[in-house]
Amino acid sequence: MSGAFSRRLDASAVCLSLAAIAGLVASAKADENPAGHERPWSFAPLAEHVPPQSETAGWAQTRIDGFLLADMTAAGLEPASPADDRMLVRRLYFDLVGLPPTSDAVERFADAATRDRRAAVRDLVEELLQSPHYGERWARHWLDLARYTDVTASWLDSTASAWLYRDWVVRALNEDLPYDEFVKRQLAADLMSLAPEENAALGFLGLSPTYWKELQLPPEIIKGTVADEWEEHVDALGRTFLGLTLGCARCHDHKTDPVTARDYYAIAGVFASVKFSDRPTISDELWAPVAKARAEVAKLEAEKATLKKKKPAPEDLKAQVAKLDEKISAIQKATPHYHVPTANGVADAALFVKPKDDGKHGTKLEYVDGQARDLEMQMRGDPNVLGETVPRGFLSAFPGADGKPLRFEKGSGRLELAEAIVGEAAPLTARVIVNRVWWHHFGHGLVESPSEFGNAGDTPTHPALLDDLAARFVANGWSIKWLHREILNSAAWQQSSLAPESEARDPRNHHYARMSRRRLEVEAWRDAMLAATGKLDPTIGGASIDLADENNHRRTLYGKIHRRDLDQMLRLHDFPDPTAHSPKRPETTTPLQLLFTLNGPFIRQQAEALGQQWADRESAPIETRIDAAYHDLFQRSPNEHERRLGLAFLGDSPDAPLWSEYAQALLGSNEFLFVD
């Protein structure tokens, strides 16, 4: 039994007198503006800052460097030397597109760098940002936050088109959709007069976790389950866009932040006014006949189901079923666009949990299309003990221009909520996304709690730098690609990871006096293996495929994600739980990971493919083939020690199986798994 469920039962079991209830309501009203909660640093207006000047300012390449250099100097540290060409190119490729470079790409960069290294870096950054694979790499980071799944609980409507949301995120990032627009479309694309394919953005809400509701149970129980869903939506929204744990305010005013229970129910009312709904991705004109045809097919399918349940079965059952199948097929063929996928989204509809009309035990869920509702406060989070009704609106800590809390009056309020997130709360929203991008480039954040920017979270290690970067991010049109350029062209990001003195004095690299060595996520690791064998299918977008399928050579982004039954390879290698918002991935080292490297069918297949390729180069000396192996996997030549080890292992006349064992050893090496 879940904690939330048991709390509801405990609360429901207590027999509260009218006087006690009145006391709770009065207490809630008294705490509308809780005392003692300072506004977090992250709520303050944004402002650009002038970077400190330094005697070694010539090291700096962007404004970022001025802030970091001053901090290094104060800590008695010096910047590490620049990363060598191979190290830097590998880092850029994996950071921006999640794929390894070729040896030729490293050589081209090295040649350009001899003439003007800064220009060579700028050009390569720009080339990779324009690659369609950039959106694939960075979409996965966002999908971790959005608790993306391809397959959800069996009792839910189909999520066969969940991939439309994933592909929308890829496309939006590739097109550098301004982040403020990126936020708004995921909450309210259907309310923004956009092209119909933009409805796919609603997957952020349309693919939210949904809990089983046994409608034979009384409404008092089902109300709790529904309230838990609303809490999940509020919490995911708060953590993802605002870096705030808004779910804490369901039962009481937030213990550390200026977020009241009234604020929670003001936002929860928005989610009480929507329902899951498949949204068309074609125009209304084209969709109308499709909707009509699908309704007719649904009736025929229901007839088939009823027919098959008849006892005793009709003698001509097969003939009747075949006739219905013919009708269904005829309707589908006669209707253009019949099979066009619909996006998992939401639509405005107020939800009410009521007893069954017939007076029997049980519950019904009543949706009123096009209607919104305001929620009553739930005392201690119990939906069966209600207080004052709270109008839908935004956090009172971010009032409107008139100084009053924002109230939502247009439908559910989804669009107004989105506009408030990137409007009144823009300083907070900008700081949160800037820190997330920084995190993925440096391996840790300027704020170490990426989804907790309230008073309970960590304070920034470099507050002026974060403010300056966030302010300029907004001034530059909320452009994520601008932010990448600013970070990647900095001298700090281009430092070597090999700096023994800095590592000894600052092991966690808080002062950024070197680059942190990074382990590849499972997606980049798997994709790099496929790229090395030449088997990688570079096709962009489309339906997801089971990763266990040995013929699946697509990028791992397109592997099927099951919310309740995650693929074994992903599960072993720290892939996040698709049921929850995941701001950062854990990094574990386990015996099972080693066993996977030794015995896993996927890595064995890639090793066999590589081994066969190297074995087939029979005319080349073994030393030359060993050199080729290192260039294929590491974009460098082996040193003499590595070459001797290879010769000792392979012998004078290695066959394909022996080359495959050699390939597997290299694929399982730290150098293949880590990026310097």
Render 411-432 in DSSP notation, one character per residue.
TTSHHHHHHHHTTTTHHHHHHH
In a domain, 192, yes or no: yes
| CB of 545 closer than 8 Å to CB of 559 | yes
Residue 190 amino acid letter: D
Helical pair 317-334 and 284-309, crossing angle rounded to 10 deg: 180
481 in the same domain as 332 = no
Average pLDDT in the chain: 92
Question: Residue 313 has what pLDDT?
Answer: 85
Query: Is the CB of residue 662 less than 8 Å from the CB of residue 622?
Result: no
Q: What is the DSSP letter of 393?
A: B
Residue 38 class from Cβ within 10 Å (0-12 exposed, 13-18 middle, 19+ buried)?
exposed
pLDDT of residue 57: 64
Give the Cβ contact number of residue 616 at 10 Å.
Answer: 12
Identify whether residues 526 and 548 lie together within a single domain: yes
Backbone angles phi, psi at 387, to 5 degrees: -120, -140
Residues 396 and 513 in one domain: no
Choose the final residue of a domain: 475, 499, 517. 517
* pLDDT score at 10: 39
For position 160, what pLDDT does the model report? 80
pLDDT classification of 158: cutoffs 50, 70, 90? low
**Statement to judge: residues 551 and 639 lie in one domain:** yes
Q: How many CB atoms lie within 10 A of CB 189?
A: 29
The H or E element spanning position 301 is helix 284-309
Shared domain check, 597 and 509: no
Residue 58, pLDDT score: 86
Give the residue numbers spanning the domain of 332. 284-340
Per-residue pLDDT averaged across 631-658, rounded? 96
**Res 3: pLDDT:** 42
CA 67 to chain centre: 30
- Do 413 and 275 share a structural domain? yes
**Cα angle value 664/668/672 (rounded, 5°):** 115
Between 46-55, 231-240, 515-524, the lowest mean confidence (pLDDT) is in: 46-55
Q: Is the pLDDT of residue 154 over 80?
A: no
Residue 170 lies in a domain: no
Which of 316, 340, 364 delimits the end of a domain? 340
- Whether residue 621 has pLDDT greater than 90: yes
Domain membership flag for residue 426: no
Contact 231, 270 (CB under 8 A): no
Helix, coil or strand: residue 465: helix
Instruction: For residues 210 and 324, state if they share a domain.
Output: no
- Please tell me the distance from the alpha carbon of residue 471 to that of residue 413, in angstroms, as a whole number: 27
Using the predicted structure, report yes or no on whether residue 20 has a pLDDT greater than 70: no
Provide the strand spans (E) within 325-479: 343-355, 363-369, 375-378, 386-390
The backbone torsions φ and ψ at residue 270, rounded to the nearest 5 degrees and listed phi first, read -65, -45
The domain total for the chain is 4
pTM of this structure: 0.92
- Give domain status of residue 460, yes or no: yes
469, 492, 517: which is the final residue of a domain?
Answer: 517
pLDDT band at 28 (very low <50, low <70, confident <90, very high): very low
pLDDT at 198 over 50: yes
Q: Is the pLDDT of residue 19 over 50?
A: no
Q: Does residue 371 lie in a domain region?
A: yes
In this prediction, residues 50-55 reach a mean pLDDT of: 82
According to the model, what pLDDT value does residue 359 have? 73
Asked, for residue 18, whether it belongs to a domain, the answer is no
Residue 315 has pLDDT above 90, yes or no: no
Split at pLDDT 50, 70, 90, the class of 421 is: very high
Same domain, 292 and 204: no
pLDDT in the model for residue 187: 98
Asked if the structure places residue 448 within a domain, the reply is: no
> How many Cα atoms are found within 13 Å in the side-chain-facing hemisphere of 188?
23
Same domain, 376 and 487: no
Joined together, the tokens standing for residue 638 give 């082996």
The proportion of the chain whose per-residue pLDDT surpasses 70, expressed as a percent, equals 93
How many CB atoms lie under 10 A from the CB of residue 66?
A: 23
Per-residue model confidence (pLDDT) at position 16: 32
User: Does 163 have pLDDT greater than 70?
Assistant: yes
Q: Are 234 and 209 in contact (CB under 8 A)?
A: no
User: Could you tell me if 539 and 639 lie in one domain?
Assistant: yes
pLDDT attached to residue 56: 64
Statement to judge: residues 80 and 205 lie in one domain:
no
- pLDDT score, position 554: 98
- Residue 455, pLDDT above cutoff 80: yes
Residue 657 has φ and ψ, to the nearest 5°, of: -60, -40
381 and 252 fall within a common domain: yes
Separation between Cα atoms, residue 75 and residue 57, nearest integer Å: 16
Mean pLDDT confidence for 257-263 = 96
Q: Judge whether 158 lies within some domain.
A: no
Note the pLDDT of residue 7. Answer: 37
